[in-house]
Amino acid sequence: MNRLLEIAKKRAHMRQTGLMYLLLIVLAGFSQGYIRSSLVIPEDALATSKNIVAEEALFRLGLVLDLIAFLLDAIISIWLYRLFRSYGETLALTAAVLRLLAHPAIGSLNLLNHYLALQAALVPDFLAGFDANQLQSMSLLFMEAHRIGYLIAGVFFGLHCLLLGLLLHRSPLPGLLGTLMILAGLGYEMESFGDFLFPGNEEWLALVVGITAVLGEVTLTGYLLKNGFFTSKLKAEDVR
């Protein structure tokens, strides 16, 4: 009976983690993939500033959605640790800390750049000393700083994915999940370091991380949601 209870808890824990991961993907994906990508025009400060002012409510929504996603990510970090700590306590703890540093910490602070871009575009009274061209340039500069902040967070998140992939290989879950997460981690590292070291390759590096992240994170999320159970090989100590 106790064993059945532990398995039931494990199933519920997996499904809840998968649900939060799915919500995170939807919120962050909409904020980055639709809102910012449609409003921010690289190397065109005037167009970017006009877009932000015209869609102020949408731009603010992007910030809020990201903040909610990062709060979810903090919870996911701990819940993934609980799920996989039996397959390497130190490895699982390190992976959790790296994920907490990536988006809940660095990503959340990086939202200041998002907010400052909005302020520069709206021309508040305390920025009256700057002319229109300067403020438009500042708005685009803050959005570029926001992009760079994402790349910095990606270094930590990529390493988290690599370690999570190793944990998945140690667990009874399908080895393909681990392999896909390792590829996702490599994709994040390629984009971050590639953009810093080899400017001009941003587009294809973004495509690489987009494909590998979808394959790794979406597949893992789907598995957690659909197959919220573990085999008899799992340890009951995983859930406390």
Task: Print the SS3 string covering 23-88.
Answer: HHHHHHHHHHHHHHHHHCCCCCHHHHHHHHHHCHHHHHHHHHHHHHHHHHHHHHHHHHHHHHHHHC
Task: Using alpha carbons, list the distances in angstroms from residue 230 to 37, 162, 222.
Answer: 39, 22, 15
pTM attached to this predicted model: 0.89
The tens place of each residue's pLDDT in the chain, 240 residues long, gives 566 666 667 777 888 899 999 999 999 999 999 999 999 999 999 999 999 999 999 999 999 999 999 999 999 999 999 999 999 999 999 999 999 999 999 999 999 999 999 999 998 878 878 888 999 999 999 999 999 999 999 999 999 999 999 999 999 899 999 999 999 999 999 999 999 999 999 999 999 999 999 999 999 999 998 876 444 344 444 434
- Cβ neighbors of 128 (< 8 A, separation 6 or more) are none
- The dihedral through the CA atoms of 11, 83, 217, 24 has a sign that is positive
CA angle 226–161–36, rounded 5-degree value: 85
SS3 label, residue 46: helix
